[in-house]
Amino acid sequence: MLYCAPRSNKTEFFIKTIMKHLIACLSLVVLVASSLFAKQAFAGCTTDSYGTNCNYPADLTVNKEVKNPITNSFVQNLGSNDPTFSPGSTVTFKLIIKNTSGETFSPVEVVDQFPDYLTYVGSTVTGTYDAGKRRLVMKLENLIAGETREIEVIAKVADKSAFANDKSFLCASNYTKVTTPARPDGDDDTAEFCMTTNINGSSTLPVAGFNDLFTVIPFLSLGGIGLALLKKNK
C-alpha cells in the first residue's frame, strides 16, 4: 500500500511563493507584449533584423521664417539676391509650431541652433541659451489639439572684427527642431539669411544702407532747390 506523507507548511509556502512569482512574470510579459503591439498598431512600426522602426504621424510641425529687413515681413528664406545683414545688426526669426493631432502634446521641446556669426539676444518664450554650443532650448506646455503657437527669436550679427578678410559675404541657415514624448521624431526646419561686411560694394541693400538713405534724402532735396534757384537767377 502506497503511503503519501502530508505536505509540510514549508512546502506549501514554497509552492505559493513560486506561483506568485510566476504569475507576476507572466503579467509583466503580457504587459510588455501589449505595449509593443499597441505601439506598432498606432505608429505603424515594423520589426526587422535591425530592430523596431516606427513611423510616427507628422502632426507636430514647425515652420521657420526670417524677417526681411527692408519690408519687415517674414519670409521663408533670404537668399544671396535678397537684402542682407551687416555686422552688428539684428535678425528676427519666427517659429510657427502646430499640433494637428487629436491629442495634447506636453511638453514640447523647441531647440534653436544658431550658426556662426550669430548670437542669441532674446525671444518671446523664455528659454535656456548655451553660448558655447550656440543653442537655445525652449519648452511649451499643453499644446492642445489643433493649436498653433508662434515664437519670435531675436539674434545679433557679430561685429566686423569677427569676420575673416576673405569672408566679406556669406549665407547661413538657422535650424529649429521640435519634439515631444509622444512624437520623438518631431519636425525641423531652417531659414536662410546672408551677411555682408562690404556694405558699399554689396549688390543688395543691407540694413545700415537702408537707414542711411533716409539721412541723405533731405540733403538731396536742398541740393535740388539750390539748382533751381541758380537757374532762375540766370
Tell me, letter by letter, the H, E, C secondary structure of 158-194.
CCHHHCCCCCCEEEEEEEEEEEECCEEEEEEEEEEEE
Chain segment 52-75, per-residue pLDDT in tens: 667 778 899 999 999 999 999 999
Report if residue 7 sits inside a domain: no
> What's the structural domain count of the chain?
1
pLDDT score recorded for residue 13: 65
Residue 150, domain extent: 60-204
29-47 mean pLDDT: 51
pLDDT at position 117 is 96
53 assigned to some structural domain: no
The whole-number average pLDDT for the span 206-221 is 44
pLDDT of res. 57: 84
Q: For 10-14, 50-54, 200-204, which range has the lowest pLDDT when averaged over its residues?
A: 200-204
**pLDDT of the residue at 219:** 46
Q: Alpha-carbon distance 170 to 116, whole Å? A: 11
Query: Is 35 a member of any domain?
Result: no
CATH of the domain at 149: 2.60.40.740
- Of 189, 207, 196, nearest to 76 by C-alpha is 189
Q: What percent of the chain has pLDDT over 90?
A: 57
pLDDT for 200:
47
**Mean pLDDT of all residues in 172-193:** 97
